[in-house]
Amino acid sequence: MTIQWFPGHMTKARRQIQEKLKLIDVVIELVDARLPQSSRNPMIDEILQGKPRLIVLNKSDLADPAVTKQWIEFFKEEGHLAIAADASSGHGIKEIPLLAKELLKEKIEKQLAKGINPRAVRALIVGIPNVGKSTLINRLAGRSIAATGDRPGVTKGQQWIKVGTEMELLDTPGILWPKFEDQNVGYRLAVTGAIREEILNIEDVAFFGVKYLVKYYWEPFQERFDLKEQPTDFENPDEIVAVMEAVGRKRGCLVSGGRVDLEKASGILLRELRAGKLGRYSLEAPY
Ligand code: G4P
């Protein structure tokens, strides 16, 4: 296993986020709905220091809806409000400001009782790279934020983006890092393309993905690659490799002697998987 978790990165990210916590009322924690646990930072509770938090399971258009539902329940049991969303199409986005306000209900009620008119809820989006933070910010803002900020000559300080009249969003998200202590976390991230597969062995990444998919999502897999029988022993590497070879043959990844080029087959398989060609899937379930 060659991927590493750099404590230096995390210390810096943590400091930057904690600076921003002083300015905001709620945190919107973005995770990937296909792997909600592996795509979050395990130290998140400690980092956020009790700030009210909404968990958004983004890219839910790519995840197994039944498993996403289980995750929402799971987070609820942990005491967090959670919602599934798809920042690309905008599905589930309208609810975010409403839920952010819901998190501050008690505070808002107290203010109203004292005759104070509550100001807009101030929020910060946090998450690991590639979970869709920029897409969500742009979607909530209704325009492209990064494009304006990146214009030469425009000095970019901390800016607030108005989301309707009830929420204001910090324009730069807080970036967290995943932790790969458990190597399965690294593999799940690599299967979805959240981390570059080159830092892992591509055949190992594909093997990990195939093993999970043939077990839980056999039908779309079988259909796409014209496979015959579902493996019976998922723990037997030979059975999984036989599936990968069948995929390779189907895609014409042959080398001299009729052997299958597993590296090439792995690359093709991962590309098709990420492009959604094998349908919706989740790589981990809470129960
Ligand atoms: P980040 O700021 O957290 O690093 O993530 P970013 O918004 O850049 O999104 C990373 C990739 O995920 C982008 O794809 C983006 O389009 C895609 N994405 C974000 N939200 C969703 C979602 O809800 N569903 C789906 N299916 N995809 C989502 P990309 O290939 O890197 O770029 P592009 O497709 O925008 O060209």
Pairing assessment for the beta strands 174-175 and 121-127 based on DSSP bridges: parallel
* SS3 label, residue 77: helix
Distance 275 CA to ligand 1 centre (A): 12
Element of type H or E holding 8: helix 7-21
Q: Name the binding residues.
A: 58-61, 130-135, 174
* SS3 label, residue 241: helix
Distance 235 CA to ligand 1 centre (A): 33
Distance 260 CA to ligand 1 centre (A): 33
**CATH 1.10.1580.10 is right for the domain spanning 200-273:** yes
Distance 88 CA to ligand 1 centre (A): 7
Neighbours of 170 (CB within 10 A): 19
Q: Name the binding residues for GTP.
A: 58-61, 130-135, 174
pLDDT of residue 108: 93
- Block residue for tokens 């646990």: 37
DSSP conformational letter for 200: S
- Block residue for tokens 């458990």: 182
Four-residue CA torsion sign, 181, 182, 184, 185: negative
- As a whole number of Å, the CA-based R_g of the chain is 22
CB contact burial 241-271 (16+ within 10 A = b; e otherwise)? bebbbbbbeebebeeeeeebbbebbbbbbbe
One digit per residue, the tens of pLDDT, for the chain of length 287 reads 445 556 677 788 889 999 999 999 999 999 999 999 999 998 899 999 999 999 999 999 999 999 999 999 999 999 999 999 999 999 999 999 999 999 999 999 999 999 999 999 999 999 999 999 999 999 999 988 754 434 444 445 678 999 999 999 998 899 898 887 788 999 999 999 988 767 789 999 999 999 999 999 999 999 999 999 999 999 999 999 999 999 999 999 999 998 999 999 999 999 999 999 999 999 999 98
CA atoms within 13 A on the CB side of 159: 14
Which residue puts its alpha carbon closest to atom 22 of ligand 1?
A: 59
**CATH 3.40.50.300 is right for the domain spanning 5-168:** yes
Q: Is residue 244 within 8 Å of residue 273, measured between CB atoms?
A: no
Distance CA(181)–CA(179), nearest Å, equals 6
Distance CA(204)–CA(197), nearest Å, equals 10
Which of 62, 88, 196 best tests ligand 1's pocket when mutated (most atoms within 8 Å of CB)? 88
* SS3 label, residue 195: coil
CA atoms within 13 A on the CB side of 26: 29
Domain coordinates of the chain in residue numbers? 5-168, 200-273
Distance CA(270)–CA(40), nearest Å, equals 22
* SS3 label, residue 184: helix
Distance CA(85)–CA(183), nearest Å, equals 27
Which residue puts its alpha carbon closest to atom 4 of ligand 1?
A: 130
Pocket of ligand 1 (CB under 6 A): 58-59, 61-62, 86-88, 127, 129-135
Model-level pTM?
0.92
Counting from 1 in the atom list of ligand 1, the atom nearest the Cα of 173 is: 2
Which residue puts its alpha carbon closest to atom 17 of ligand 1?
A: 132
Residues in the chain: 287
Distance CA(213)–CA(194), nearest Å, equals 18
CB contact burial 16-52 (16+ within 10 A = b; e otherwise)? ebeebbeebbbbbbbbbbbbbbbbbbeebeebbeebb
